[in-house]
A and B are shown apart, each in its own frame.
Chain A
Amino acid sequence: MMVTHIQDGFIRITEIGGIDHRILPGQPVVVHGREDLPGVVVQPPGFLLPDSVSDGPIEMKYLLVDVGLPPEEVLEKVRIGDTVSYAQEPLELTGEALAGHTLDNRVSVAATTLCLEALQNRNHNWDVWAVASAQEEETLGGALTSPFEIRPDIAIVIDVCFAKGPGSSDWQSLPFGEGVGLGYGPNIHPALFDAFEKKAKALEIPYHRDLMPKMSGTDAMAVQIVAEGIPCAVLGIPLRYMHTPVETVSLKDIRRAGRLMAAFIADLDDTTLDKINWEE
């Protein structure tokens, strides 16, 4: 979120990335002003809102952030354009589940780290660049610019995908904690999908085909069209309650994703590129 206005010591905000305004009232946040200020998102009482909104969900423009400081101190420390982030502490749930904010997409950074650790003890012919990309949630900017200099032969994009849970039960969602997602659709080169599927089967790593009929909603949308085009695979870690401060993920799936990625990379050799083709 970003600060748009300061009114009587209260802060008004707008979103960065997709946020359902209905999850905001009562959320702990940090306002990144001249110093970090803990605060809370406030839903003002109905009589302070226009009649049209008082009973329903409150749009973000009517919400306030309270940092518990006198108005003059807020004006000193907070400027329009300062960012506001979630402050929900991470929670360990049962069955190696973890809940917290921004697990989309820090869990993939964790899985990539596991992959790199595994590769330290294995021979691999191919060079590997790990990219933690910027601005995916707004512009895909980091994923458009980072492959340009690296100019990789292939790219593995790792991101979270939808896990089955309350309000999320249809074909778009994969079972929670029961394996990784292998993206399947136009952003993904089918030969890479096949290779990943084969590897997962060989290692007995549980996986589900994650159908992405039009687009993957990941950095692959950008990476795929950099320069003369880059074949992409999309690896998914199922996550519940995406874009809320209580996103929930299974540590098992993070480990599975790291292990699968490392095994896939270790297998790449001088014959691989020829196999990434459009011959059925």
Chain B
Amino acid sequence: MTKNSELTANKGFDIGEQQIELLEKLCNATAVSGDEHEVRQIVLAEIKSFADEIEVDALGNVLAKRFGSGENRVRVMLAAHMDEIGFMIVKKHDDNLFQFERVGGIDERQLPGKAVLVGRDHLAGVIGAKPIHMTTADERMKKIPVDALRIDLGPEIGDKVKPGDRATFATRFKLHGPSILAKALDDRFGVSMLIELLKHPPANIDLLTAFTVQEEVGLRGARVAAYKFNPDMAIAVDSTPAYDLPHWDEEDENVQYNTHLDAGPAIYVMDRATIADRRLVNLFTRAAEAEGIPYQYRQPGGGGTDAGVIHKTRAGIPSISVSVPSRYAHSAIGLARIEDWENTLRLLHAALSRVTPDLLAGERRG
């Protein structure tokens, strides 16, 4: 039986101005895989008065614990990755133009004609494209290869940018109606929710939060974080694509949507890297139904989260992922709903509040 006081506490998990302001700061920061400094600083500043123990480990993960009260507390790891897809400058050419490589999975068709920010000083640059007047119809049927693109920061850039510097799309956070338009919602959503849970933790568990690095280039941070924490169970908190767009042929139904916006948090059953522990799928489902929180099962298939390595760490860790659905991840502008984010946070709190040692006492089924 859920106590009324707990229900009231859950209702406290609203997304308000403070949460939106923090998400804006997180999304506008630059933290390309391997250079998560800016987001790490924001996280450390936000959690320092709330966490019982904070550590930055050898890879740059922020590991923060908040202990519950009472007996037999389950040790629950939550992982959200701080890094985002982006670029690394690899060569300066004679004409003050910079060649770059992609870091993480970016479709090269998303690159021409975009504004970028380069380096720790966020210097403005552009990825231009040949004027259409100089292209042929045949040429326009072919993709523009990354090697042909350059980042242009103006004729007097001098030595202010050098190979090795990271860059991101220059997109600034914006709200419109029920939606958020921003870069790096994958996974600043997760980072924001872990911060929120550290501030308002469920008392029944030991909350072990890992703000991980290098997820986009191979789930590297999460592996060592899980080893260090050695938790009883783990939840990767991420953002997953909503491909809920119409088919070009209006007769055809889109049956590969992965998730839908406005349908609530996406509970994972299986992705390319993890088969979720069924006990945890049930935990989340029951919590959502008990609290009246909308939810959806992410369509089983491709993709992966930090859970992909966490569940195989040490002798195995029961794991699941829960994501905020969002459109256009890994491009300049993602689009998601404030309400889906809010419901994901509420569901996480509701599910964590229901974690007891009994949950994991039996055998794993499925």
Most buried by A among B132, B174, B332: B132
A167 pairs with B129, CB closer than 8 A: yes
Q: Shortest Cβ distance from B85 into chain A, in angstroms?
A: 12
- Which of B33-41, B59-67, B175-183, B200-208 lies at the interface with chain A? B175-183
Residue of A nearest to B241 (CB): A45
A150 interface hit (Cβ, 8 Å): no
B328 pairs with A26, CB closer than 8 A: yes
Contacts of B126 in A (CB 8 A): 91, 93, 99, 241, 246, 248
Q: Shortest Cβ distance from A220 into chain B, in angstroms?
A: 16
Interface of A is mostly: loop
Interface string of B158-189 (1 = CB under 8 A from A): 10100000000111101011110100000000
A230 and B135 CA atoms in complex are apart in Å by 32
B250 interface hit (Cβ, 8 Å): yes
A21 and B131 CA atoms in complex are apart in Å by 12
Answer whether A242 and B133 are a contact pair too, CB < 8 Å, given A20-B140, A165-B128. yes
Most buried by A among B107, B109, B128, B131: B131
B327 pairs with A42, CB closer than 8 A: yes
Contacts of B142 in A (CB 8 A): 56-57
B81 interface hit (Cβ, 8 Å): no
Contacts of B154 in A (CB 8 A): 93-97, 248
Given A26-B333, A241-B129, 12 other A-B residues pairs in contact with their CB atoms under 8 A: A22-B144, A25-B110, A37-B176, A48-B243, A57-B141, A62-B248, A96-B154, A240-B152, A241-B113, A243-B131, A244-B131, A248-B154
A94 pairs with B155, CB closer than 8 A: yes
B20 interface hit (Cβ, 8 Å): no
B45 interface hit (Cβ, 8 Å): no
B72 interface hit (Cβ, 8 Å): no
A184 interface hit (Cβ, 8 Å): no
Q: Shortest Cβ distance from A38 into chain B, in angstroms?
A: 5
A25 pairs with B132, CB closer than 8 A: no
Q: Shortest Cβ distance from B259 into chain A, in angstroms?
A: 13
B97 interface hit (Cβ, 8 Å): yes
Number of A residues near B (Cβ < 8 Å) is: 65
Q: Tell me the residues in window 315-347 of chain B with beta carbons closer than 8 Å to chain A beta carbons.
A: 327-328, 331-333, 335
A94 and B309 CA atoms in complex are apart in Å by 43
Q: Shortest Cβ distance from A47 into chain B, in angstroms?
A: 5
B335 pairs with A91, CB closer than 8 A: no
- Which of A63-71, A126-134, A272-280 lies at the interface with chain B? A63-71
A44 and B132 CA atoms in complex are apart in Å by 23
A92 pairs with B97, CB closer than 8 A: no
Contacts of A43 in B (CB 8 A): 107, 109-110, 331
Residues in chain B within 8 A of chain A (CB atoms) = 95, 97, 107, 109-110, 112-115, 123-135, 140-144, 148-150, 152-158, 160, 169-172, 174, 176-179, 181, 243, 245-250, 254, 256, 262, 327-328, 331-333, 335
Q: Tell me the residues in window 1-57 of chain A with beta carbons closer than 8 Å to chain B beta carbons.
A: 7-8, 10, 18-28, 37-38, 40, 42-45, 47-50, 56-57
Contacts of A66 in B (CB 8 A): 327-328, 335
B328 pairs with A245, CB closer than 8 A: no
B245 pairs with A56, CB closer than 8 A: no
A166 and B135 CA atoms in complex are apart in Å by 13
A185 interface hit (Cβ, 8 Å): no
**Which of A40, A50, A97 is the one whose CB lies under 8 Å from B181?**
A40
Answer whether A68 and B155 are a contact pair too, CB < 8 Å, given A242-B133, A244-B128. no
Q: Shortest Cβ distance from B330 into chain A, in angstroms?
A: 10
B140 pairs with A69, CB closer than 8 A: no
A73 interface hit (Cβ, 8 Å): yes
Contacts of A69 in B (CB 8 A): 176-179
Q: Shortest Cβ distance from B241 into chain A, in angstroms?
A: 8
The contact sample of 22 A-B pairs, CB cut-off 8 A, is A18-B132, A20-B132, A21-B140, A24-B113, A45-B256, A48-B243, A48-B247, A68-B177, A96-B154, A99-B124, A99-B126, A99-B152, A165-B152, A166-B128, A166-B130, A166-B152, A167-B148, A217-B133, A241-B129, A242-B132, A244-B112, A244-B128
A64 and B254 CA atoms in complex are apart in Å by 15
B178 pairs with A19, CB closer than 8 A: no
Contacts of A93 in B (CB 8 A): 124-126, 152-154, 157
Answer whether A97 and B155 are a contact pair too, CB < 8 Å, given A28-B171, A167-B134, A243-B132. yes
Q: Shortest Cβ distance from A120 into chain B, in angstroms?
A: 31
B181 pairs with A56, CB closer than 8 A: no
A44 pairs with B245, CB closer than 8 A: yes
Contacts of B335 in A (CB 8 A): 40, 66, 68
A112 interface hit (Cβ, 8 Å): no
B129 pairs with A99, CB closer than 8 A: no
Contacts of B169 in A (CB 8 A): 26
B115 pairs with A23, CB closer than 8 A: no
A168 pairs with B134, CB closer than 8 A: yes
Interface string of A57-92 (1 = CB under 8 A from B): 110001010111110010000000000000011011
